[in-house]
Chains A and B, each alone.
Chain A
Amino acid sequence: MSAENSIALDDIDRRIVAATSAGLPLVAEPYRAVADEVGIPVSDVLARMARMLEAGAIRRIGAVPNHFRLGLIANGMSVWDVDDAEIDDLGPKVGALVFVTHCYRRPRHLPDWPYNLFAMVHGPDRGVVAARIAEIADLLGPACRGHDVLYSKRILKKTGLRLAS
């Protein structure tokens, strides 16, 4: 989020991002295909992507599974009202649970929304997800004043990253 964590992308980096954000070409030399599209040598593509990977601008390179199609059809966004004094100690413990795929602190919107900890829990069915959420409740203990779980019903939109030019 903060400026010191970000790296500056120049125009060529942006063109690489635009050429790869929907995926790499499935050919024997995918980075060469990207290089040809961007109009630079393949060594530049490799060096620039290595720099973005190093800086964390690329989280990882590989297969992005579709949880729904892989049978992980229950996807519960668990939300928790955790004591502000304890959330930064407890959040990483929740995030370390193997079945939690994303874990963030976010603002409350009182009185509509009292929850400040969001933890995404995946599982093959809602029963398994509910048992996993009970584990989180145990872990949080009395620091948690309430929680809820929002199951996803439908994907309405899912696109890759798009950078403005």
Chain B
Amino acid sequence: MTALAQDAPDIDDTDRHIVNALQGGFPLTERPFHAEAGLLGIPEGELIARLRGMLEAGLLTRFGPLYNIDRMGGSFCLCALTAPADRFDEIADIVNGFAEVAHNYERDHRLNMWFVLALERPEDVPELVERIEEATGLQVFAFPKEAEYFVEFKVSL
């Protein structure tokens, strides 16, 4: 698994165990925190408080179900464009202004803005790409996935 940097932020062993143990398999039961806290050997209230603390500190982006829109008849589509340096922030605002844009990253490449469209209907991708091209005045490259070889989000701390 992926190694953690030595200077990782303030996270103690209990937090570490929580993150390692709870990246999947959180139970669908009426008292799920109670069951998991028992396995971790801490009180239910402490587990909830620590998760809240890690969310507030930004160590976790969220706690809950990770939905796979592909299995809902929808689709994610990776896209990229080249934003001129002097218009970068303006272009980012325009792109981020589309509700369908779920993530957007600046990357160090000629194609310097990479964003993910989350759409319920894959057939809506081309029209949305066109709208983003019109709004930005820039060419947008769409990279729909053609095959998924592996998806794994887990990190080990």
A23 located at the interface, meaning its Cβ lies under 8 Å from any Cβ of chain B in the complex: yes
Which one of B7, B57, B63 contacts A23 once the chains associate, using CB atoms below 8 Å?
B63
Produce 1/0 per residue, B12-47, CB < 8 A to A. Answer: 000000110011111011111110000000001000
Given contacts A6-B73, A154-B105, contact A70 B8 (CB under 8 A): yes
A3 located at the interface, meaning its Cβ lies under 8 Å from any Cβ of chain B in the complex: yes
Give A67 to B6 CA distance when docked, in angstroms.
14
Chain A, Cβ-Cβ closest to B157: A70
Which one of B68, B144, B147 contacts A58 once the chains associate, using CB atoms below 8 Å?
B68
Which one of B7, B59, B115 contacts A65 once the chains associate, using CB atoms below 8 Å?
B59
**CB neighbours of B151 from chain A (8 A):** 59, 101-103
**CB neighbours of A49 from chain B (8 A):** 28, 65
Contact B99 A162 (CB under 8 A): yes
Which one of B8, B120, B142 contacts A163 once the chains associate, using CB atoms below 8 Å?
B120
In the complex, how many angstroms separate the beta carbon of A153 from the nearest chain B beta carbon? 4
Contact A56 B32 (CB under 8 A): no
Which one of B3, B19, B95, B145 contacts A106 once the chains associate, using CB atoms below 8 Å?
B145
**CB neighbours of A95 from chain B (8 A):** 149-150
Give A22 to B62 CA distance when docked, in angstroms.
7
Contact B146 A24 (CB under 8 A): no
Contact A70 B150 (CB under 8 A): no
B1 located at the interface, meaning its Cβ lies under 8 Å from any Cβ of chain A in the complex: yes
Interface residues on B, range: 35 or more
A72 located at the interface, meaning its Cβ lies under 8 Å from any Cβ of chain B in the complex: yes
**CB neighbours of A118 from chain B (8 A):** 78, 143
Contact A158 B103 (CB under 8 A): yes
Chain B, Cβ-Cβ closest to A132: B2
Chain B, Cβ-Cβ closest to A34: B64
Contact B30 A42 (CB under 8 A): yes
The interface size of chain A toward B, counting residues with CB under 8 Å, comes to 87
**CB neighbours of B5 from chain A (8 A):** 71-73, 124-125
Contacts of A93-110 to chain B: CB distance below 8 A: 94-96, 98-107, 109
Which one of A21, A100, A152 contacts B105 once the chains associate, using CB atoms below 8 Å?
A152
**CB neighbours of A91 from chain B (8 A):** 147, 149
Contact A65 B23 (CB under 8 A): yes
**CB neighbours of B87 from chain A (8 A):** none
Give A63 to B152 CA distance when docked, in angstroms.
13
Chain A, Cβ-Cβ closest to B45: A28
In the complex, how many angstroms separate the beta carbon of A113 from the nearest chain B beta carbon? 6
B136 located at the interface, meaning its Cβ lies under 8 Å from any Cβ of chain A in the complex: no
Chain B, Cβ-Cβ closest to A156: B104
Give A158 to B108 CA distance when docked, in angstroms.
18
In the complex, besides A23-B62, A26-B63, A163-B74, 4 extra interface pairs with C-beta distance below 8 angstroms are: A60-B23, A63-B51, A70-B19, A106-B143
20 sampled A-B residue pairs with Cβ under 8 A: A17-B67, A21-B64, A26-B48, A28-B31, A53-B65, A56-B71, A62-B26, A63-B22, A65-B61, A66-B60, A67-B155, A71-B4, A92-B150, A100-B152, A101-B153, A112-B111, A122-B2, A123-B3, A154-B105, A162-B102
